[in-house]
Structure 1
């Protein structure tokens, strides 16, 4: 499926994904093997040992080094979870691995369909875990699994705890006692959704009055909504309760958390989500989130509006990288701008839901901006290259001129030296010739004198 994603928030602070973890103290892994390799021969005997059995139905690893490394990380997380769960007194919880390729027959017998999924077997129920594969998140989820599906509110303190829950779907009913048949119907319905949806009940008229509940009545609360929806048609059967919840379990505003991240993304109503980024600890982030909540409250009856709230800024975990690969529209909001009003945000959302804003056009604008940036970069590089070429040519010309000048000077020097040498040689030759002439003259004179003497 091709997701259309609409992004609301500014990236208001810096940091990694923030899940708001409850801060469980986890020991270091002690190196002991506790996770079972399940197969056709041992899976029945292993599963009988435990009150709760966690099965990681994984894809076949194969020879890929990347896949092997990833599986080692996942196996280590499961080993650490098994180490922590070993200390539980009330329940024995085991963890096992099942290979999609080699143990396909076992998976079929257990009713496992989707690989790379975690299934939890408790009594006659099979619960699929839709959270991240991390030791702390899995352990916290398992703690919820082993709790009773319905939590009883007896006093003002417990009532306050109920009222403080705003991030999850919750239901609360008022019944005469735990022996009431209407309460049993409610309890059976709770088991169908446990632990993904929180069910509460009270047998106290005082607490019921504070919640404005009538006898055998059940209220349904959406996340972040102040006022509940009274489920019509009391008293209810299990089937009626289940049908109502299934028809209304897609809230207008949801917070993505470690234990529900895959469940939310698999929710594929028209393949469209509104993504709101905010950081609760930041003043701007808190203000923005309050605006988003108001928009959700005003539009809670719109079945096509789904807003997902993320405590996520700047960088994404691997599981969320798919967000960036989908078609998306961003709500424009500059750093210096004031926060949008509720009306402005509602108008923008209305345009998005009515397809007045096209993700393709928004992407094209981004592409044009990217192209402009690329062109600027290219032009800058071309200019730099031309300048460099000109500089190189100038340098080459200067070097050539210098070399030519040097060569000319050398030639001139050589010519001068040759001329000097020639002149010297000529002078020497002339001198020699003069000397020879003088000698000849002297000889002639002497001969003449001798001849004269002879004549005399």
Structure 2
């Protein structure tokens, strides 16, 4: 089946080897008049950074006495207010930083270019280079938020000249071999590529829970190059068992066994245990003999009792052990 694609980030495309419904454009309400954009200053900027999962700041020049410039400023402020209204329940905040009155804050935050929008997420700063309109900004922020929440998924991202590029087509064809289990993203946009530190025709491979991607060597790549690399690296050091691909994960064992870790992410002990697992995985990502399957019991409430009886463990606290896949599958099949 020929791969189809739809927009995920502005100029970043997700390649699918299955039919996809076209996403409808964002519908924006009229501005309700409520002030949501924060006037960022030296007293409140730390609180704002802690309050939101993502903080979007416009670094602007001082308000001019020129009426045309004042009108332009008001229109820009309205764009931010409308975006803040639409994203009010998404844990995304908006603020404005005056380059003159708040120069100390700007220096602390690393704001340099007047008229630019800076997005603060965790310890990263991303400069928004797109059109400063409410729909474009909202779309970018939502997709950036969604993309960053794909930590537990294997994915590839490539930068290409355009849709007609032979290397993009090779990338597209390679995606068909791994759908729907591995996601392939492509961008034609220089600004997006810069944020992702991608060079032309370069492809990065993201393993679940890893801090940094691995760049596939030897660009530009043919379909066969990409398929060969992904096939050799597709088994993650740490992966989460998910309902949509649990059988594929379970069958991808290491000579009949799995190292299985049970931990509830929402539980403090489970979260701490999971963070340790991530560190172990990152320190051993080049070890082909290490593969850990993380299971969050909250995701499989109907299987919890079965797992406790089969593995003889108490899933109210984190557990880790070696599982014989054949014995477990045989016992499960006999039930």
With the length of structure 2 as denominator, give the TM-score of the two structures: 0.51
- Determine the C-alpha separation between the residues in 1 that align with 2:222 and 2:298: 44
Residues 159, 207 of structure 1: 8 Å contact kept: no
From 180, 185, 194, the equivalent of 2:165 is 180
Q: Give the Cα–Cα distance (whole angstroms) in 2 for the partners of residues 324 and 124 of structure 1.
A: 45
Please identify, of 185-194 and 158-167, the stretch whose mean Cα deviation from structure 2 is larger: 158-167
1:219 is paired with a residue of what secondary structure?
A: strand
User: How far is 1:324 from its partner?
Assistant: 5.5
Matched residue, 1:146: 19
- Within the candidate set 168, 185, 193, 2:178 is matched to 193
Rate the CA distance shift 1:228–1:291 in 2: closer, same or farther, 3 A. Answer: same
Q: Residue in 2 aligned with 1:302? A: 287
Question: How far apart in 2 are the matches of 1:225 and 1:163?
Answer: 12
Structure 1 runs (4+) deviating above 6 angstroms are 313-316
Distance in 1 (alpha carbons) for counterparts of 2:188 and 2:288: 34
Return the offset for 1:160: 4.2
- TM-superposed CA distance for 1:192, in Å, is 1.5
Partner of 1:33: none
CA contact (8 A) 2:152 2:240 kept: yes
CA distance in 1, matches of 2:196, 2:299: 41
Higher relative contact order (CA 8 A, sep 6+): 1
Q: Which residue of the partner structure matches residue 117 of structure 2?
A: none
Q: CA deviation at 1:147?
A: 2.9
- Structural mapping, 1:74-93, within 5 Å: none
Give RMSD over aligned pairs: 3.7
More strand by share: 2
Instruction: Describe the shift of the 1:213–1:309 C-alpha distance in structure 2 as closer, same or farther (beyond 3 A).
Output: same
Aligned with residue 219 of structure 2, among 214, 228, 234: 234
**Retained in 1: the 8 A contact 2:160–2:187?**
yes
- TM-superposed CA distance for 1:257, in Å, is 0.7
CA distance, structure 1, for counterparts of residue 236 and residue 186 of structure 2:
21
CA contact (8 A) 1:277 1:313 kept: no
Aligned residues: 195
Q: List runs of 5+ in structure 2 lacking aligned partners.
A: 4-15, 22-128, 131-139, 325-335
- Kindly tell me: are residues 286 and 211 of structure 1, through their superposed partners in 2, closer, same or farther at Cα, counting changes over 3 Å? same
Q: After TM superposition, give the deviation of residue 159 of structure 1 in Å.
A: 3.9
* 1:405-431, Cα deviation, whole Å (9 max, x unpaired): xxxxxxxxxxxxxxxxxxxxxxxxxxx
- Pair 1:300–1:184, CA change in 2 (3 A): same
**Partner of residue 206 from structure 1, selected from 191, 194, 198:** 191
Q: Is the contact made by 1:273 and 1:305 (CA closer than 8 Å) also made in structure 2?
A: no
Report which of the two has the higher share of helix: 1
Cα distance in 2 for partners of 1:314, 1:225 equals 22
Q: Could you say what secondary structure the match of 1:260 adopts? A: helix
Question: Aligned equivalents of 1:172 and 1:213: distance in 2?
Answer: 9
Inter-partner Cα distance in structure 2 for 1:315 and 1:257: 9
Residue 265 (str. 1) matches residue 265 (str. 2): no
Please list every run of 5 or more consecutive structure 1 residues that lacks an aligned counterpart in the other structure.
Answer: 1-122, 126-142, 149-153, 353-358, 360-456
Please point out which of 217, 221, 224 is paired with 2:202.
217
Structure 2 SS opposite 1:284: helix
Asked whether 1:254 is paired with 2:239, we answer: yes
TM-score (norm 1): 0.38
- Paired with 1:256 and 1:313, the residues of 2 have a C-alpha distance of 11
